């Protein structure tokens, strides 16, 4: 914003610092001066006023008050002693009606008659030009001059052009129009506040005046307006019309309602002096809810704690006095009540006052110091910790995390079935699914009971672009609760998906995940659904296993049923692991059991045999480990097969058996001997046949 150095000087009897030095002082006290430039016999100061200081510093008087506080020079506010014509009353020439007091908290008007409209004095014109405004005539120029001086926008109407001598502040009616002073036509609506006479809008409130009642060379009666408008209303109207003016800019930042009377009297005084007008008796003033000074309790000890420096009580009160604040006179108390002038709209809490004290005292006088505080590490959130741990492990083995919506569609419900199956991923339409009352779309009709449907949709959409897909999601699932007084049961699940013939790859990834989470004693127990369950289950009837830790089921690993894949038009096989993450989290541990690495090599032997279809893998593992003893380091199932070459009712299980001793290298004879013992033990059951 542009300020005139000579104009600022007019508020002081003593000489101000030179323009460049004044710019330095203002910059040191939170007013950045972008430019100092000499124009004729004057200097302009381009001062960047922060938005919160707009209400009091978008004016020469406001900046002069700041200069006074910074330099200690006395700022003299110009006096405006007006002489009213006692024979004529203002209310006989105009009436004011405010339709919405929230939009217009105060409206002040005066009437000046017998004015002589002409050119304004040279000193006014020069000051307007240096601030970027074009002189028009003495009446308009005086109003602009007072706005730049005080920060209060004003407007003038030709009193003889107001229908029925009325001023009405109201919101515009739909399809009303107005032609403004710059001869632009605007369509109005009910969101735009206007000043109207008895028939039509004559100004856009707080933004720009209308063409019809403008001041011209024939004007004899001037109605002066000095109003206070709601900043939000003016901002909305200005944006709607795409019309920015000096007045709207000031009103949008907020203005002290108590400024209207001072500014209108200042304007009337200058009109009386320059345009020889007669000021009619009486001030028309609508001000139903008077704004008084705020009172803020200030703890002087808190000033020291917040600023980090001790400032004497006397100096604190002196600084506040320079800023036009009034302090209570209790000298012995560390607490003071500060009365804030109404033009300081930015001051509302003690910290605001302390900021002002520090600013005027000088931030450069406050030495930098490290804060003294106790650093207390936050309590670990284990839920987030294990989530991040699991995600990072899966990312390390090549998975990509996805985020899907927490909803499924009616079509999903039909594809995945109605009844509630054992694996908790067959969805009950009315029994188990939770229907959204106001779904955004048909695709989001139900809350998801599992993460699997949306992950399969990810495959469906991306299979044409990628041949190798590994994705996972960690999120909540929802179903109707069986607990009394609880409508919804939420469960956090971790679900991963691979495409292709990847059952054992998925098993290896799960082993890695669980081991890195500190979980041991992991079992994969073959799941064999009944014929009824096979009809409704999403799992492949012969390729599914329960994931168990310490004999507790924590999830499932398996291929998706070919029927589901056909319905979703997915071309490749899909393997999924679906884990109850809440159980997994409870089992996870940062502690690991130390197992020394053997210095001796391991040997791997394979074994395959036929067993009845109902035999579980865990039964076989138990026998192998029991017979093999300490020499069997690990047993890994790597194939389950049921095909044409396999007898009816049988299945083929194939295992890697890892042999290793802690104290020696095992010979071939020792390994063969243990292997034979295992084979004999397995063949004790006549229906178990080792394949050689």
278-281 and 84-89 beta bridge pairing: parallel
Give the SS3 label for residue 310: coil
Of 684, 688, 613, the closest CA to residue 648 belongs to: 613
Same domain, 217 and 337: no
Note the pLDDT tens digit of each residue in 635-685.
Answer: 888 887 777 778 888 888 888 999 999 889 999 999 999 999 999 998 888
| 221 CB neighbour count, 10 Å cutoff | 21
pLDDT at site 535: 65
Question: Is the domain of 629 the same as that of 529?
Answer: no
Higher pLDDT, 16 or 329: 16
Instruction: Please report which confidence band the pLDDT of residue 419 belongs to, taking 50, 70 and 90 as the band edges.
Output: very low
pLDDT value of position 532: 65
- Is pLDDT of 426 > 50? no
At residue 330 the predicted structure's pLDDT band, cuts being 50, 70 and 90, is: low
Do 94 and 14 belong to one domain?
no
The answer to whether residues 131 and 151 belong to one domain is yes
Any domain includes 111: yes
Q: Which of 238, 266, 286 is the last residue of a domain?
A: 286
**Full residue range of the structural domain in which residue 181 is found:** 84-286
Closest to 337 (Cα-Cα) out of 293, 299, 297: 297
Over range 170-190, report the average pLDDT: 94
If you average pLDDT over residues 179-188, what whole number do you get? 94
Q: What angle do CA 267, 135, 281 make, to 5 degrees?
A: 20
Q: Are residues 449 and 490 in the same domain?
A: yes
pLDDT digits (tens, 9 = 90+) for 250-293: 999 999 999 999 999 999 999 999 999 999 999 999 999 999 99
Question: Which of 286, 302, 333 is a domain's end point?
Answer: 286
pLDDT of residue 424: 38
Q: Are 402 and 357 found together in one domain? A: no
Residues 321 and 424 in one domain: no
The pLDDT mean for the chain works out to: 90
Provide mean pLDDT across the span 442-464. Answer: 92
> What's residue 542's pLDDT?
78
Which CATH number does the domain housing residue 656 bear? 3.30.70.380
Domain CATH code at residue 54: 3.30.56.10
CB 155 within 8 A of CB 209: yes
What CATH number is given to the structural domain containing 572? 3.30.930.10
Helix axes 259-274, 138-150, angle to 10 degrees: 140
Please give the pLDDT value at position 386. Answer: 93
Q: How confident is the model at residue 374 (pLDDT cuts 50, 70, 90)?
A: confident
Q: State the virtual CA torsion across 254, 255, 256, 259 in degrees, nearest 10.
A: -170
Is 636 among the domain residues?
A: yes
For 367, phi and psi rounded to 5 degrees?
-70, 145
Q: Does one domain contain both 574 and 624?
A: no
* Band (593; pLDDT cuts 50, 70, 90): low
Q: What are phi and psi of 343, to 5 degrees?
A: -75, -10
pLDDT at 331: 59
Question: Average of pLDDT values for 327-338?
Answer: 77
Res. 525 pLDDT band, cuts 50 70 90 = confident
pTM: 0.60
Contact 155, 143 (CB under 8 A): yes
Burial (Cβ within 10 Å: 0-12, 13-18, ≥19) of residue 307: middle
Question: Do 549 and 667 lie in a common domain?
Answer: no
pLDDT value at residue 332: 60
- For residue 660, what are the contacts with CB-CB under 8 A and spacing of at least 6? 598, 600, 601, 602, 603, 631, 633, 666
Mean pLDDT score, 14-19: 96
Q: What is the mean pLDDT of residues 358-364?
A: 92
Residue 634 lies in a domain: yes
End-to-end CA distance of the chain: 95
Instruction: Report helix, strand or coil for 674.
Output: helix
At residue 180 the predicted structure's pLDDT band, cuts being 50, 70 and 90, is very high
pLDDT beyond 60 at 12: yes
What percent of the chain has a predicted confidence (pLDDT) above 70? 95
**Boundary-marking domain end, from 286, 305, 340:** 286
d(CA 587, CA 591): 11
Dump pLDDT digits (tens) for 469-516: 999 999 999 988 877 777 788 999 999 999 998 888 998 899 899 989
- The mean pLDDT value for 586-593 works out to 82
**Residue 430: pLDDT over 50:** no
Q: Are residues 24 and 146 in the same domain?
A: no
In this predicted structure, the answer to whether residue 420 has a pLDDT above a threshold of 90 is: no
Report pLDDT for 533. 64
pLDDT at 429 over 60: no
Domain annotation covers residue 27? yes
Residue 431 confidence (pLDDT): 61
Can you tell me the distance from the alpha carbon of 465 to that of 23, in angstroms, rounded to the nearest whole number? 64
Query: Does 596 map to a domain?
Result: no
User: Does pLDDT of 421 surpass 70?
Assistant: no
| pLDDT tens per residue across span 84-131 | 999 999 999 999 999 999 999 999 999 999 999 999 999 999 999 999
The 3-class secondary structure across 42-85, one letter per residue, is: EEEEEEECCHHHHHHHCCHHHHHHHHHHHHCCCCCCCCCCCCEE
pLDDT reading at 428 higher than 60: no
pLDDT at residue 407 above 70? yes
- In total, how many domains does the chain have? 5
User: Is 373 a domain residue?
Assistant: no
Per-residue CA distances from 317 to 373, 447, 501 (Å): 30, 63, 82
In order, the DSSP letters of 346-386 are T--SHHHHHHHHHHHH-GGGS----------PPPP-HHHHH
Question: Same structural domain for residues 118 and 235?
Answer: yes
Q: 113 and 243 in one domain?
A: yes
Q: What is the CATH number of the domain that holds 98?
A: 3.50.40.10
Give the separation between CA 386 and CA 586, rounded to whole angstroms: 10
Answer whether residue 592 is part of any domain.
no
Rounded Cα gap, residues 557 and 526, in angstroms: 9
The mean pLDDT value for 238-249 works out to 95
| Residue 368 is assigned to a structural domain of this protein | no
Mind listing the pLDDT tens digit for each residue in 530-581?
Answer: 666 666 788 888 788 889 998 889 999 999 999 899 999 999 999 999 999 9
């Amino acid at each position: 914003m542009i300020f005139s150095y000579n104009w600022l000087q007019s508020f002081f009897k003593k000489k101000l610092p030179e323009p460049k030095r004044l710019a330095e002082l203002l910059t040191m006290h939170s007013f950045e001066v972008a430019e100092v430039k000499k124009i004729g016999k004057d200097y302009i100061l381009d001062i960047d006023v922060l938005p919160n200081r707009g209400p009091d510093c978008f004016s020469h008087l406001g900046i002069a008050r700041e200069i006074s506080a910074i330099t200690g020079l006395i700022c003299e506010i110009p006096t405006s002693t007006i002489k009213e014509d006692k024979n004529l009353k203002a209310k006989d020439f105009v009436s004011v009606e405010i339709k919405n007091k929230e939009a217009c908290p105060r409206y002040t008007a005066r009437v000046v008659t017998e004015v002589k409209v002409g050119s304004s004095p040279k000193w006014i014109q020069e000051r307007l030009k240096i601030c970027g405004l074009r002189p028009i005539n003495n009446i308009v120029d005086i109003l602009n001059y007072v706005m730049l001086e005080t920060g209060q926008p004003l407007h003038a109407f030709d009193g003889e052009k107001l229908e029925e001598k009325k001023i009405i502040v109201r919101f515009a009616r739909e399809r009303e129009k107005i032609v403004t002073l710059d001869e632009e036509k605007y369509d109005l609506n009910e969101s735009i506040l206007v000043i109207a006479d008895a028939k039509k809008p004559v100004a856009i409130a707080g933004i720009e005046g209308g063409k019809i009642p403008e001041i011209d060379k024939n004007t004899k009666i001037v109605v002066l307006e000095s109003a206070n408008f709601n900043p939000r209303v003016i901002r909305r109207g200005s944006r709607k019309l795409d019309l920015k003016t000096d007045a709207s800019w000031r009103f949008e930042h907020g203005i002290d309602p108590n400024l209207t009377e001072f500014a209108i009297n200042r304007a009337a005084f200058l009109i009386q002096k320059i345009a020889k007008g007669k000021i009619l008796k009486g001030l028309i003033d609508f001000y139903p809810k008077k704004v008084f000074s705020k009172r803020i309790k200030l703890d002087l000890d808190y000033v020291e704690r917040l600023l980090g420096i001790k400032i004497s009580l006397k100096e604190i009160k002196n600084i506040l006095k320079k800023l036009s604040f009034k302090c209570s006179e209790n000298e012995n108390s560390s607490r003071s009540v500060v009365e804030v002038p109404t033009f300081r709209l930015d001051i509302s809490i003690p910290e605001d006052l302390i900021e002002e004290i520090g600013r005027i005292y000088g931030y450069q006088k406050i030495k930098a110091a490290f804060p003294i505080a106790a650093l207390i590490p936050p309590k670990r959130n284990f839920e987030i910790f294990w989530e991040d741990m699991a995600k990072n492990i899966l990312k390390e083995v090549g998975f990509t995390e996805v985020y899907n919506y927490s909803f499924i569609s009616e079509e999903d419900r039909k594809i995945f079935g109605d009844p509630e199956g054992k694996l908790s991923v067959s969805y009950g339409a009315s029994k188990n699914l939770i229907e959204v009352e106001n779904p955004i779309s048909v695709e989001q009709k139900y809350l998801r009971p599992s993460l699997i449907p949306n992950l399969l949709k990810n495959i469906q959409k991306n299979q044409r672009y990628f041949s190798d897909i590994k994705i996972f999601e960690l999120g909540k699932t929802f179903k109707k609760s069986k607990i009394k007084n609880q409508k919804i049961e939420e469960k956090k699940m971790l679900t991963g998906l691979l495409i292709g013939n990847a059952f054992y790859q998925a098993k290896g990834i799960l082993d890695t995940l669980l081991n890195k989470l500190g979980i041991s004693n992991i079992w994969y127990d073959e799941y064999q659904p009944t014929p009824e369950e096979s009809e409704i289950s999403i799992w492949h009837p012969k390729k599914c296993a329960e994931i168990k830790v310490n004999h507790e089921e924590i999830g499932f690993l398996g291929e998706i049923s070919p029927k589901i894949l056909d319905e979703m038009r997915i071309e490749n096989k899909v393997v999924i692991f679906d884990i109850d993450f809440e159980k997994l989290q409870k089992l996870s541990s940062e502690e690991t059991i130390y197992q020394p690495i053997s210095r001796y090599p391991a040997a791997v032997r394979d074994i395959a045999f036929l067993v009845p279809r109902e035999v579980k893998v865990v039964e076989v593992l138990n026998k192998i480990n029991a017979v093999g003893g300490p020499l069997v380091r690990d047993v890994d199932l790597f194939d389950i097969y049921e095909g044409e070459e396999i007898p009816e009712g049988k299945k083929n299980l194939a295992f890697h058996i890892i042999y290793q001793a802690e104290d020696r290298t095992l010979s071939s004879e020792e390994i063969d001997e243990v292997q034979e013992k295992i084979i004999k033990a397995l063949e004790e059951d006549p229906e178990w046949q080792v394949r050689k």
